[in-house]
Amino acid sequence: MAAIDSDRWHRLSPHLDDALDVAPGRRQEWLETLRGVDADVAADVQTMLAEHRALDAERFLEADVPLLPPGATLAGTTIGVYTLTRLIAHGGMGSVWLASHSDGRVDEAAAVKLLHVEGSSGAGVERFARERAILARLAHQNIPRLLDAGTSGAGRPYLVLEYVDGTHVDTYCDQRALAIDARLRLFLKIVAALSHVHANRIVHLDIKSSNVLVTKEGAVKLIDFGIAEALDRPRQSRQAQSRRPPVSALTPRSAAPEQLTDGVITTATDVYALGVLLYELLTGRHPVPLAGLSAGDLRRAIVATEARVMSTTLADLHRTADLVARIASRRATTPSMLRRRLRRGLDAIVATAMRKDPAARYASVDAFADDVRRSLEGEPLGDD
């Protein structure tokens, strides 16, 4: 693909980000929908998808980081007591590799996260060290364990984590056509992990479907604490060490308004992102209609425009009845029954989590979970 100018990139970027959230088997269908709106953008996105199919797509957009040269690989390299076997993901700060224990006595796969050579100094190292410190504080069944950490012989910091052979939570749900209640039960496992994170005075800051993996056995794992923050760090230290990650390290489509406006970061920031995630799990749609939006328009919508309630979003798709039928079938229901289920409390729950004012959201992820449990138990929470 030919080089693109800044304006064109900003126009394409949100579409590429959205496309990479779609399961590979459904991307052609997604592209056809986009092609009906803007054929030129769809053609560019299709080309970009082909060029970046080997990447962990959402992380690619975080920074302009060169890939390994064609044919180059770290497979076979020994890092600590682990041998790298294959690349799992390549993102803004580093790469993640599947690894095995070098002496062969421990039959447990691990995920080794390596900082890019270009980032092995200054802010990159400081943020990597912060991730290590954060992971060391966490011990929960829904969060991968930190197994080891250090610096390679080549001087690259690394983290060794429990390897999770899982699928993005949205893809997992759709592939199995999980009903609404089953999706809510999975969601509660995500909240349980995040409750543990918050109890340790940490905010994740990057809650999204690709950062929640579900194994074949149904185990849920919240991953990627690369931009997480410890709320109990001294204020002066946070300021001196560039507490905030750059905007380019965020995923705007799941970021809270305060992340995009340099507002105060609290646990309410994660509450908002949980609301976006649940919105997508229940409707298959993003709270903001993404088609045709520039990156700037997307940010303005997230900051200033209240998202439409879920049932209304689905009702507005009445001109694309086939799409609504597919969304409902992936939730083992019909369009009318799906809208009715959403109106019976879930609309209000998600809307509360996604309020623009952090103080108006749920006071905690546990309060959010309590209302989700009430919905599972059939207690009315909103207008029916």
Residue 117: closest CA among 141, 90, 144: 90
Are 194 and 278 within 8 A, CB to CB? no
Owner of token pair 């088997």: 25
The question of whether 206 is a catalytic residue gets the answer yes
Side chain identity, residue 356 = K
Residue 360 CB contacts under 8 Å (≥ 6 apart), including other chains = 352
Judge contact between 210 and 168, C-beta under 8 A: yes
Tokens 């905007």 — which residue? Answer: 247
Read off the DSSP letter of residue 202.
Answer: E
Contacts with 18 (C-beta within 8 Å, 6 or more apart), sequence order: 30, 253, 286, 290
Which of these is catalytic: 44, 174, 206, 347?
206
DSSP string, 157-173: EEEEEE---EEEHHHHH
Both tokens assigned to 307: 């998202």
What Rg value do the Cα atoms of the chain yield, rounded?
21
| 99 Cβ contact partners less than 8 Å away, ≥ 6 residues apart | 79, 82, 83, 84, 85, 109, 110, 111, 112, 160, 163
Which of helix, strand or coil describes residue 142? coil
Of 300, 285, 289, 295, residue with least CA distance to 350: 285
Residues with catalytic function = 206
